[in-house]
Structure 1
Amino acid sequence: MRLASTLAALLAAGATLGAALPAQAAAPALQIVKIYYDSPGADRRSNASLNAEYVTLLNTTRKAIDLEGWSVRDKTGYTYEFGADAVLGPKKRITLRTGQGSDGTSSVFWNRKQYVWNNDQDTAYVRNATGKLVDSCSYKAASRSAYVTC
């Protein structure tokens, strides 16, 4: 009898402890996984240098995401909006490069002639087609790292 009541008390305590643990937040559907904010070499605005500055996004879901109208922007307000043909498959990544190029399934191009991401600090924001914030990633370059993983 005494063992049964002790066991019941332990189970109740365990249930209480389990309930006290915070729930983990679900990953956003489209997650920023990397910002390469300081392209290698001198910042001379060559297209190769501009394209070495990028943001990589991951579809964390098991379904394709139609990215039409979704946007990526920096703290200053430079904004890239995905077009009608942008569909990201389940668990796939897409890289948004700052410079010019031809969009494909794994990379799209901002088609800018100037850098977007500050070398010292910045924030990237992803918003869905209705404008709702889906994910963000901030960095402050304390060391000479050229990128941040989010």
Structure 2
Amino acid sequence: MRFRSLLTAAVLAGGMAVAPPAYAAGPAVRISKIYYDSPGSPDFGANSSLNGEYVQLKNVTKKAVSLKGWTVRDDTRRSDHVYTFGTFTLGAGKTVTLRTGKGKNSATTRYWGRSGGTFAYIWNQVKDTAYLRNTSGTLVDSCSYNSARYAYKVC
């Protein structure tokens, strides 16, 4: 409201009106959900269990976004907990699911390709953070959870 008063005063005084400051737009792609505790118990690292944990990314714009070179990682500093997108374009308004295990990549699902038992899981079952970075390494979005009460977090 203060800006509107200043603008009105400037116009009445014959001055030049100045546009309000532009606000930074949010990220084009956002982390929308993390399913960090795959269904079933116990978790022994079977491919079906690994693929039961995933992170979803949503393109919230009206334009397709190339994710080539973008990364998703968790809060650990382990280099094997980084997924790098190859050639992949996320359509306008579309969601892609990044599953931890192995499978055939498609337009809606990508696979981290992890295997090897209980140490193959990416997302901790109680507390973790997902980070999405673009090709230059700039943080685009993150989503944290801190609860064993639920199996997933809507970001």
TM-score with structure 2 setting the length: 0.79
Q: Which residue of structure 2 aligns with residue 108 of structure 1?
A: 110
1:60 matched residue in structure 2: 60
Aligned mate of 2:149, from 127, 144, 149: 144
Shift of 1:118: 0.1
What's the CA shift string for 1:67-97, capped at 9, x where partnerless? 110010001131000002x110001000000
For residues 152 and 24 of structure 2, what CA distance do their matches in structure 1 show? 25
Matches within 5 A, 1:121-136: 121-136=127-142
- Corresponding residue for residue 69 of structure 1: 69
Match of 1:80 among 70, 83, 86: 83
CA distance in structure 2 between the partners assigned to 1:33 and 1:17 by the alignment:
34
1:99 and 2:101 are equivalent in the alignment: yes
Task: Find the residue that maps to 1:48 and give its secondary structure.
Answer: helix
Shift of 1:61: 1.2
Distance 1:18 1:73 in 2: 44
Q: Relative to 1, partners in 2 of residues 1:82 and 1:26: Cα closer, same or farther, differing over 3 Å?
A: same
Q: Percent identity?
A: 53
Structure 1 unaligned regions, length at least 5 = 1-14
Number of equivalences: 131
What stretches of structure 1 move > 4 A for 4+ residues in a row? Answer: none
- Deviation (angstroms), 1:27: 2.9
CA contact (8 A) 1:123 1:136 kept: yes
Partner of 2:18: none
> Could you list the per-position Cα deviations for residues 17-50 of structure 1 after superposition, in whole angstroms to 9, with x for gaps in the alignment?
979xxx9864311100000000011211010000
Structure 2: tracts of 5 or more residues without a match: 6-21
- Give the drift of 1:104: 0.2
Displacement of 1:55 = 0.2
Q: TM-score, normalised by structure 1?
A: 0.82
Deviation at 1:16, TM superposition (A): 2.3
